[in-house]
Amino acid sequence: MAQERLTQAQFTQLVAEVEQLSSQRDEEIDREQMEQILPSIWQLKAIRLQPMDENKLEILISCIPKI
């Protein structure tokens, strides 16, 4: 069985496709992180931040998960 080699053009296209798939994966991870964060943001919005001192605000901010 003869071994086939990629041409430079095929290799370049393959690299471009791998980079595109990698970029799509990164975007999916970001989307997953946003889905984890959104419930916390909605909870904060539901609290209706009326006049609030800095201590309460710091406590609320500390409840948001860090990425």
pLDDT single digits (tens) 6-63:
788 888 898 899 888 888 887 777 777 777 887 877 776 666 655 666 777 777 777 7
In a domain, 5, yes or no: no
In a domain, 17, yes or no: yes
Say if residues 40 and 59 touch (Cβ distance below 8 Å): no
Round to whole Å and give the CA distance between 8 and 60.
Answer: 55
In a domain, 1, yes or no: no
Residues 6+ apart with CB under 8 A from 60: 44, 47, 49
In a domain, 2, yes or no: no
- Considering its fold, how many domains does the chain have in total? 1
Residue type, 40: S
Task: Please tell me the pTM assigned to this model.
Answer: 0.42
Name the token pair of 34: 């946003």
In a domain, 26, yes or no: yes
